[in-house]
């Protein structure tokens, strides 16, 4: 058969594509369950993180979540509750557009909406090393215990982390103004959502 003929070309291309895609599908099928469980585990860890509950970093976090967190749905929004130091803390998942793609995460607040308890990023597609730094601890830790001023929080300026917990602001990521501004909007929108659920 002619190697460069159209029939051979079509058949060879088909066979090659078919076998590689079949191999991929098989690998996907075999690892599907594990990947799905990892995804749920990582989301559960994010919720625990936002509550400030220490995670083990192992499979035990799966049960830790079942023990500490209760899930409910109010007005079509998934609400997570936990008891932290004797009082109730609530969290919701958020998602919104960043610079390149969707940023999803969890935000936990005191029930009276006075302070943010913590946030965690579940997934994002921001530039690694720039906007991607929103997922780093120094950035997320700025939100821990931060006071909410008039239902908002501001992400401003540049720097290595704002430590004042009463000024209702956190430092933006240097070189990532757009991601920082997007995150500010997303966080404030989720504060509004929680406020609406609380009826104020």
Binding site for another protein (CB under 8 A): 3-4, 8-9, 12-13, 16-17, 20, 23-24, 27-28, 31, 34-35, 38, 41-42, 124-125, 127-130, 132, 158, 174-175
Residue (90 or 120) nearer to another protein, CB:
120
Residue (17 or 72) nearer to another protein, CB:
17
CA distance 129 to 23: 34
Residue (4 or 54) nearer to another protein, CB:
4
Handedness of CA 68, 184, 164, 114 (dihedral sign): negative
Q: CB atoms < 10 A from the CB of 178, how many?
A: 15
Residue (1 or 75) nearer to another protein, CB:
1
Please, what is the minimum distance in Å from the beta carbon of residue 188 to another protein?
25
Residue (17 or 111) nearer to another protein, CB:
17
Residue (100 or 165) nearer to another protein, CB:
100
Q: If we measure between CA atoms, which residue out of 81, 121, 85 comes closest to residue 103?
A: 121
Please, what is the minimum distance in Å from the beta carbon of residue 128 to another protein?
6
Please, what is the minimum distance in Å from the beta carbon of residue 64 to another protein?
17
Please, what is the minimum distance in Å from the beta carbon of residue 118 to another protein?
18
Please, what is the minimum distance in Å from the beta carbon of residue 20 to another protein?
5
Q: If we measure between CA atoms, which residue out of 105, 155, 142 comes closest to residue 125?
A: 105
Structure tokens at 68: 């500490």
Please, what is the minimum distance in Å from the beta carbon of residue 23 to another protein?
7
CA distance 8 to 26: 27
Tell me the residue ranges of DSSP E strands in the chain.
70-74, 77-84, 87-97, 102-110, 116-123, 154-156, 169-171
HSE value, Cβ hemisphere, 13 Å, CA-based, for 192: 6
Beta partners for residue 160, in sequence order: none
Q: If we measure between CA atoms, which residue out of 162, 150, 147, 158 comes closest to residue 181?
A: 158
């Amino acid at each position: 058969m002619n190697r460069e003929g159209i029939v051979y070309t079509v058949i060879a291309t088909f066979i090659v594509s078919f076998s590689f895609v079949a191999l991929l599908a098989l690998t996907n099928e075999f690892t599907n369950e594990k990947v799905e469980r990892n995804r749920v585990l990582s989301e559960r860890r994010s919720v625990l993180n936002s509550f400030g509950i220490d995670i083990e970093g192992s499979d035990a976090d799966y049960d830790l979540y079942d023990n500490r967190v209760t899930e409910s749905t109010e007005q079509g929004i998934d609400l997570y509750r936990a008891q932290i130091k004797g009082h109730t803390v609530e969290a919701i998942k958020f998602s919104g557009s960043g610079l390149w793609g969707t940023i999803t995460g969890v935000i936990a607040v005191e029930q009276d909406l006075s302070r943010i308890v913590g946030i965690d990023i579940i997934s994002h597609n921001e530039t690694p090393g720039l906007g991607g730094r929103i997922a780093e601890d120094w950035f997320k830790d700025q939100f821990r215990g931060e006071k909410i001023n008039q239902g908002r929080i501001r992400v401003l300026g540049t720097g290595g982390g704002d430590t004042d917990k009463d000024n209702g602001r956190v430092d933006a990521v240097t070189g990532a103004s757009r991601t920082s501004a997007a995150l500010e909007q997303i966080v404030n929108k989720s504060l509004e959502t929680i406020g609406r659920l609380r009826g104020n």
